Structure 1
Amino acid sequence: MKKKTSIILSLLLMSLSPMLSFSQKKTVTAAPIIANSSTGVVQTEFGKVRGYVHKGIYTYKGIPYAVSERFMPPSKPKAWEGVRSSMTYGPVCPMDATTSVNDVIEFAFNHNWGYTNESCQSLNVWSSGINDQKKRPVMVWLHGGGFTAGSSIELPSYDGENLSKKGDVVVVSLNHRLNILGFCDLSAYGDKYKYSANVGIMDLEAALHWLKANIANFGGDPNNVTIFGQSGGGAKVTTLMYAPSAKGFFQKAIVQSGSYRTSFLEKEDAQKVSAALLEELGLQPSQVDSLQKIPYDVLNAAGKRAQQKVQAKMKAEGKAFVGGGLGWGPSHDGNYLPYQQVDPAGIEISKNIPLLIGSTKNEFMASLINPAIRNFSTDEAKAFLQKKYGDKTEAYLKAVEKAYPNTTKPSDLIDIDVSTFRPGAVKQANMKATADAAPVYMYMFTWQSPIMDGMYKAIHCIEIPFVFDNIARCEEMTGGGSSAYALSNKISQAWINFAKSGNPNHKGLPTWQKYSAENGATMILDNECVQKFHHDKDLLEITAGK
């Protein structure tokens, strides 16, 4: 009996042994995040910094690249002892506080407003390797928000981890001085303030200087730097292309929906604003130094009133405005920015910089401002257009059909960007694309978001998650569907290839031809990517000046 029982137990154990063995095995996988006192330590010229590793990507946040007094050019930060923890984002530049949002629009954007401090000059780095002597292309992201707002953490699409991982590139983003802190021209009040009109752009250059000296230890190639940005960030890219002192600190440039300023503010007008600012605050020119200690909220409010007064006078005199109104931004000061954008000498500075440039189909569409347009019938849409284009309406409709044959909704006839970013991109590309200059590549992002019954279309900022390979982080805007991932794979690879070689072509796209004013070559980025030539020439000619 005992022998029989023993045999039964042996058979039972044998049958269970695979299960027991399986239950005891442990699947060894890399930790999704590694953060400790010794991981990710990198030497910089100012001291050591420590980041962390997330999904195989070394991540650093809030590293100071410069310091400055208010209205003064940036200078190098002070060195520190020991290892500086650099694991959370630094402060953003003070700006108008956000007190309310449009719920349905904010759902798509999902902003992170951060925290503010005038000492905001810090940067963030993502890299797949550090201290390894490898020379990875460096992609430096300049955030949007015009020249008055925004930050490197404003949108979830700005996170550089996925782009760094996909392309084995070093991604950098940064914060810098904005609005009155970055662009108040006080040069009329002494040599001390000689550069005050453009210190916000000088911050960007200071970051490029930091990269030149330090990015090699983060696995990057200091001699292969691409600056890229969207909206205000794209305009910042353009501005750096006209700054003689920034020459040599970047080798390629990408402007995304950023060609909305065709000139810099003239020094004469910038100085009128600063004079009005002193009047608003009850200060004499001899008291200009008092501006350095006035609380930001008081200074900012007075600056707005000053701009409104000067704008009213300029309007009465029939003067045009840069970017549609008198706002803070870079000015043609004769020092840091010695040339206007149409000046051949200014264009010559970045002559050898390859440029990738484009915009989205819908940008700031009318149906966002007036939701009733979303449900327009065809007749209502035509009546709306008739008020704007008069006897050119039928020609406009035919031009839309030619340029964008997939336009189906009546509101789509109205929502195409034909007045700001697209014509601005064409003008900028035409100036840059000369026979003896570095190549220019043009794109148009037309993919339509399916979220909220398609109300977002190809909205301003929608291409950013595709560029950064961040579809999953931005599902509220992209929908997170298979078509979004497929297009993101194509777009992010094109941006990576451009950063590596100055050419965005890869096997996932049709041949992307160089742009010229003669061929109008534009890559349409959609579910089906297509190379077209002067696809919207008729449309832009009809709408010019409207």
Structure 2
Amino acid sequence: MKKKKISRRKFLTILGVTGGVLVAGGVGGAAYIRSRFTPDTTPGPGEDGEIVTVAEGQLQGTINDGIYRYLGVPYAEAAERFVTAGPVTPWEGVLKADSYGPMSPQGSMLGFGAGNQDGTDNNCQNLNIWTPGLNDGGLRPVLVWLHGGGFSTGTANDSSYDGEALAKNGDVVVVSVNHRLNVFGYLDLSAYDEKYKDSANVGMWDIIAALEWIQQNIEVFGGDPDNVTVFGQSGGGAKVLGLMSTPYAVGLFHKGIVESGVTETVGVNFTSQEASTRLAENLLAELNIAPENIEQLQIVAVDKLQSAATKALDATAQEFQIPAPLTDGYQMEWEPVVDGDFLPTSPVTETNFADAGQDIPLLIGSNLNEWTGFYRTSTDGVDTDALSAVLKTAYPDKTDLTADHVDTLIRLPILKTMSHKADQNGAPVYAYLLTYGSSNHGAEIPYIFRHSDVSAMNDLFSSIWVNFARSGVPSADSLPTWEPYTREGGATMLLDTTSQLVYHHDAALLKLLAPDYEY
């Protein structure tokens, strides 16, 4: 499949970013680009809220429209780079939790530079909480949001992820998590010093520390520690799959939601130990640091470290011939490492799904158009009449839809992931496909958080997500009964103004568009 070369200008323009500023009308997939350039991280209005007591001390947040908000709450402390974070040092008095905390240093992604590092810190282990009640025994479902941006960039502090409306409408507790990314979260130095034995996955270890903090403290915020759902979009969805694949997260959460969080090289598979080891070698060579001087990495300036990391990623991608997702050629991104311990396997194994995820119900899906606004699906060599017929059968109401705007980049790996999950015969997997409007990458985010001006879609998506978190079965008043996905049945909910449950609706279409793909 021939892929187009994408210029930085075109990439940002199509995502709705001009001169580093998000412009009106940009597609939903701009969420991670926004956070790299000009994130809106100003908290909304609120008056001083109640003082609560957590394990480390007292917190005071704010309250607005009946929702308590606690921002920048520390859940762990990273004293050094590339080392797992330790417990939070207890504080004296009352800690004000009325503003966002630091986010991870930002890394390069999809070949573009790391961007602005303002407001970033290696010690970025903090989370944000929105809740309708405090110390009231409410035992509400807890929804833990993991932001997108691959494993390289982004922040939980983006206003797009403000949980106030979702918490209020669904009577749930919403939590968003900042954690280490890119070279700070996934540089594998385990070959050099026992101190760095966990360095390949410290970004994921941060998320686990956040889930442990939630287990210990969330009842104070009216949440149920025995009913925790992790959900995320794009890279955030891949983080959910990472949690479902590690034995170290078992028991810390109970359901998972993956929104467009799978490609062949991120989500289906994660980085191999061999490639991870080589990446570290290439990085040290770029910085001219000898293995015996590994501690020099603790003091290298962030910009210099990120620049070297970008070059090392490219060199390793060329060496291992890792296919680029959006262009021809090779590309490597930061992500978890299948080290045999933290990750015994990738999420999708040759014949099954990661063992750790067997008992976790999964809601997973993608959007009809995804990245096709600039990376169109190839129809070269496909019989035009046959393609037109199967497209009409798959999407009879989408009269303006053309086959080159039907996503395969994410849809096919999503099918592989949920098929293998269903093969486990464990907890069920439920499939969705967003077909409403311009269903680009990230288009569902404002509906879930109830930030869009389309109230019907806000109601639909937030209800589905909340009801799945509450019961393990997705549902909404306007929907038919949602059946689990199986290879044989292929049940998928098409989410639109009129939603419907369909069965292998696009199988013939995908077979024409990607005849060699097997799942």
TM-score normalised by structure 1 residue count: 0.80
Contact 1:339-1:345 within 8 A present in 2 as well: no
Partner amino acid for 1:90? G
Distance 1:401 1:289 in 2: 60
**Residue 253 (str. 1) matches residue 256 (str. 2):** yes
**Match for residue 400 of structure 1 among 361, 372, 391:** 391
Distance 1:288 1:393 in 2: 58
Matches within 5 A, 1:253-272: 253-260=256-263, 261=266, 262-272=268-278
SS in 1 for 2:175: strand
Q: Which residue of 1 aligns with 2:195?
A: 192
Q: Which residue of 1 aligns with 2:295?
A: 289
**Residue 79 (str. 1) matches residue 90 (str. 2):** yes
Q: Which residue of 2 aligns with 1:15?
A: none
Instruction: Give the superposition deviation at 1:117.
Output: 2.0
Contact 2:108-2:310 within 8 A present in 1 as well: no
Partner amino acid for 2:463? Q
Instruction: Give the superposition deviation at 1:408.
Output: 2.8
Q: Which moved more, 1:113-122 or 1:130-139?
A: 113-122
Contact 1:147-1:178 within 8 A present in 2 as well: yes
Distance 1:113 1:153 in 2: 14
Partner amino acid for 1:339? T
Distance 2:282 2:301 in 1: 18
SS in 2 for 1:339: coil
Q: Greater share of helix residues, 1 or 2?
A: 1
Partner amino acid for 1:485? S
Instruction: Give the superposition deviation at 1:72.
Output: 0.2
Cα-to-partner distance string for 1:134-161 (whole Å, 9 max, x where unaligned): 201100000000000011123x331101
Cα-to-partner distance string for 1:412-456 (whole Å, 9 max, x where unaligned): 3321102x21111111111111473111111000110xxxxxxxx
Partner amino acid for 1:446? T
**Residue 326 (str. 1) matches residue 332 (str. 2):** yes
Instruction: Give the superposition deviation at 1:485.
Output: 1.0
Partner amino acid for 1:78? T
Contact 2:108-2:153 within 8 A present in 1 as well: no
Contact 1:33-1:55 within 8 A present in 2 as well: no
Instruction: Give the superposition deviation at 1:34.
Output: 5.3
Q: Which residue of 2 aligns with 1:92?
A: 103
Cα-to-partner distance string for 1:348-375 (whole Å, 9 max, x where unaligned): 211111100000110111x3469xxxxx
Distance 2:389 2:294 in 1: 57
Matches within 5 A, 1:342-491: 342-343=348-349, 347-365=354-372, 367-368=373-374, 388-409=379-400, 412-418=402-408, 420-434=409-423, 436-448=425-437, 457-471=438-452, 480=453, 484-491=454-461
Matches within 5 A, 1:25-174: 35-36=47-48, 39-68=49-78, 69-96=80-107, 115-154=119-158, 156-174=159-177
**Match for residue 492 of structure 1 among 453, 459, 462:** 462
Contact 1:446-1:524 within 8 A present in 2 as well: yes
SS in 2 for 1:519: coil
SS in 1 for 2:281: helix
Which aligned runs of 4 or more in structure 1 are off by greater than 3 angstroms? 319-324, 342-346, 367-370, 391-394
**Residue 533 (str. 1) matches residue 500 (str. 2):** no
Distance 2:261 2:382 in 1: 31
Instruction: Give the superposition deviation at 1:90.
Output: 1.0
SS in 2 for 1:198: helix
Q: Which residue of 2 aligns with 1:302?
A: 308
Cα-to-partner distance string for 1:73-117 (whole Å, 9 max, x where unaligned): 12111110011000111111111599xx9xxxxxxxxxx997222
SS in 2 for 1:40: strand
**RMSD between aligned alpha carbons?**
2.4
Instruction: Give the superposition deviation at 1:321.
Output: 7.1
SS in 1 for 2:380: helix
Contact 1:195-1:335 within 8 A present in 2 as well: no
Q: Which has the higher contact order (CA 8 A, sep 6+)?
A: 2
CA distance change for structure 1 residues 33 and 179 in 2, over 3 Å: closer, same or farther?
closer
SS in 2 for 1:90: coil
Distance 2:288 2:103 in 1: 29
SS in 2 for 1:125: strand
Contact 2:82-2:184 within 8 A present in 1 as well: yes
**Residue 201 (str. 1) matches residue 201 (str. 2):** no
SS in 2 for 1:390: coil
Q: Which residue of 2 aligns with 1:234?
A: 237
Contact 1:265-1:332 within 8 A present in 2 as well: yes
Partner amino acid for 2:358? K
Distance 2:424 2:105 in 1: 43
5+ residue gaps, structure 2: 1-43
Partner amino acid for 1:465? P
TM-score normalised by structure 2 residue count: 0.84
Distance 2:355 2:325 in 1: 22
Distance 2:286 2:269 in 1: 28
Contact 1:263-1:322 within 8 A present in 2 as well: no
Contact 1:264-1:322 within 8 A present in 2 as well: no
Distance 2:279 2:107 in 1: 19
Distance 1:346 1:531 in 2: 25
Instruction: Give the superposition deviation at 1:509.
Output: 1.1
Distance 2:393 2:46 in 1: 53
* Pair member with larger Rg: 1
Partner amino acid for 1:45? A
5+ residue gaps, structure 1: 1-31, 102-111, 371-383, 449-456, 472-479
Cα-to-partner distance string for 1:61-81 (whole Å, 9 max, x where unaligned): 000111111000121111100
Matches within 5 A, 1:485-524: 485-524=455-494
Cα-to-partner distance string for 1:158-195 (whole Å, 9 max, x where unaligned): 11011101111000001110011001011111211111
Distance 1:321 1:461 in 2: 20
Instruction: Give the superposition deviation at 1:513.
Output: 1.2
Partner amino acid for 2:283? L
Q: Which residue of 1 aligns with 2:25?
A: none
